Structure 1
Amino acid sequence: MSQRIVRSARQERLHGILQTLLEDKSASPQSLAALFDVSVMTMHRDLDELQRRGLLRKVHGGVVVERTRSHEIAASLRSLLAIPQKLAIAKAAAQQVRAGEVVMLDDSTTAARMIPHLLGIEDLRVATNYLPALADLAASGEAAIQALGGDFDHAHESFLGLGTIQAARAIRADSLFFSGTSADLTGVYHQEEKIVALKEQMVASSRRCVLVMDSSKFGQDSLHLMTEWHDIDQLITDDGISDEILDGLRSQGVDVQVVVVTTEQRAG
């Protein structure tokens, strides 16, 4: 068997392990080994590799992939969560973009889903630090691209650090579409200081700031307060948001657009 086939088979198994852990958070190395028909030692090596890539954390007695107040999950996992909600939010957000604008997108998997709806808008320039978004834009050839470069972070699949902050500071965007890991009536949060510093600069560099965030992230906080509601011009979320949170935001004067996710969309 060639090395290429072996690597391909392992990569498929690694992807399958992540999908399994998203669906079954109680899965253990032993149960995963039995499911994928490999030895427990091989499974531990696979889990070590996924941990090295920043895709999960091994803890005593198990494995953790979900976000906590101090830990964000990797971009490749975030892209698998709340897909119908993100698609509906992204479509609604893209409808606000006009010809000739400069649009900034952060490295959220929700903002990235705007790209198919942005293609074809005349004289559009898109600035982002998210590598998959840059690749999609480059492949389409239908929009000018402003890459916000810096140090590449594999877990986030994006460019971060001082270089990226400086790149964001150097431009002025008509609109920023961004997200966070959690939100409550105080504001929007993220677990990592380096992410907070960059998104604060993105907000400062944009004339209009639109938060695109699915309803599952509301009603909780994280380690760092990223921005308060008075810095956000609009929130676009889905109809899973609670009436309590919705009423609380609107009572503060927050402009909230709620998109409906149909049963068919939820079913995929």
Structure 2
Amino acid sequence: MKRHQDILERLQEEKYVEVSYLCKSLNVSAVTIRKDLKILEEKGLLFRTHGGASLDNPYINDRPVNEKEKISVSQKNEIAEAAAQLILENDSIMIASGTTVQALARCIRPKGKLTVITSSLNVTLELIKFKEVEVLQLGGYVRHSSSSVVGNYAAYILDNISCSKLFLSVDGIDLEYGLSTTHLEEAQLNKRMLSAAQKIILLVDSSKFGKKSFAKICDLEQIDEIITDKGISLSLIEKLEEKGITVTVMNKG
């Protein structure tokens, strides 16, 4: 069927499409589109998600950080370079765990004194070489897969500090479900980080959109800015901006 072919072609271009977008572009009802998506999923051609469809399985499994580092490398580096420009002289920031924020740590060139609070051991190792950077390494149990800490010790420290910005990276972003990660304790720690920062900046490559995992971090409305790559669709940018989020798209990668 031509409509099925059109849906698959749009998916190839966008990687993730919403039912509302398909209804408008193909001029058919939501009921029709959902039936089409069900048929195509049964054929193994796509994965249905809440309100849309994806070429990739939207449910994410935990993978070691050394594997994640090899995915979307150029996109992550560009996103990291843009994020580094947001760090001000004598700033106080928080950096969560993940390969994109680890790339941010590699891009930081301190202007004056910089205070960094982080749960990531890899971020600490990147920044410890700068005498201008004061690193507060959160303590707790170390996750082998992410080289980051979780637990009550880290949460206690976060309850007693405040910073200007949190640079956060996640495993999945879904318009309805929000931000999520594969590890429940990490999601809980990320929630505490949100409360300790004045501005929340999400650093994610476009492959994370339309995906989710079982451990929810927060709703999208809690995010102030997203920095991503040009793989994100225009319709998704519009929906994010409708939620009050500033979206910065890197043109290369």
Counterpart in the other structure of 2:250: 259
Counterpart in the other structure of 1:239: 230
Identical aligned residues as a percent: 26
Counterpart in the other structure of 2:106: 116
- 2: distance between equivalents of 1:201 and 1:99? 25
1:172 aligns with 2:169: no
Instruction: Give the deviation of 1:70 after TM superposition.
Output: 5.6
- 2: distance between equivalents of 1:74 and 1:116? 19
Specify the SS of the correspondent of 1:114.
Answer: helix
- 2: distance between equivalents of 1:96 and 1:136? 18
- 2: distance between equivalents of 1:255 and 1:126? 23
Instruction: Give the deviation of 1:136 after TM superposition.
Output: 1.5
Alignment partner of 1:214 out of 205, 209, 212: 205
Query: Structure 1, residues 189-223: CA drift from partner, whole Å, max 9, x if none?
Result: 11221011000000001011101111001012221
1:75 aligns with 2:65: yes
Q: Tell me, which stretches of 5 or more residues in structure 2 are unaligned?
A: 1-55
2:60–2:211: 8 Å Cα contact kept in structure 1? no
- 2: distance between equivalents of 1:203 and 1:231? 8
Q: What amino acid is the match of 1:228? A: D
Matches within 5 A, 1:1-268: 69=59, 71-186=61-176, 187-261=178-252, 266=253
Q: Tell me, which stretches of 5 or more residues in structure 1 are unaligned?
A: 1-65
2:172–2:209: 8 Å Cα contact kept in structure 1? yes
Instruction: Give the deviation of 1:99 after TM superposition.
Output: 0.8
Count of aligned residue pairs for this structure pair:
197
- Give the RMSD, CA atoms, in angstroms: 1.7
- 2: distance between equivalents of 1:70 and 1:258? 24
Q: What amino acid is the match of 1:258? A: V
1:71–1:192: 8 Å Cα contact kept in structure 2? no
- 2: distance between equivalents of 1:192 and 1:155? 10
- 2: distance between equivalents of 1:190 and 1:246? 21
- 2: distance between equivalents of 1:220 and 1:117? 27
Higher relative contact order (CA 8 A, sep 6+): 2
Counterpart in the other structure of 2:8: none
Instruction: Give the deviation of 1:69 after TM superposition.
Output: 2.5
Instruction: Give the deviation of 1:244 after TM superposition.
Output: 2.6
1:119–1:142: 8 Å Cα contact kept in structure 2? no
Specify the SS of the correspondent of 2:226.
Answer: strand
1:69–1:191: 8 Å Cα contact kept in structure 2? no
1:119–1:143: 8 Å Cα contact kept in structure 2? no
- 1: distance between equivalents of 2:153 and 2:213? 25
TM-score norm. by structure 2 comes to 0.73
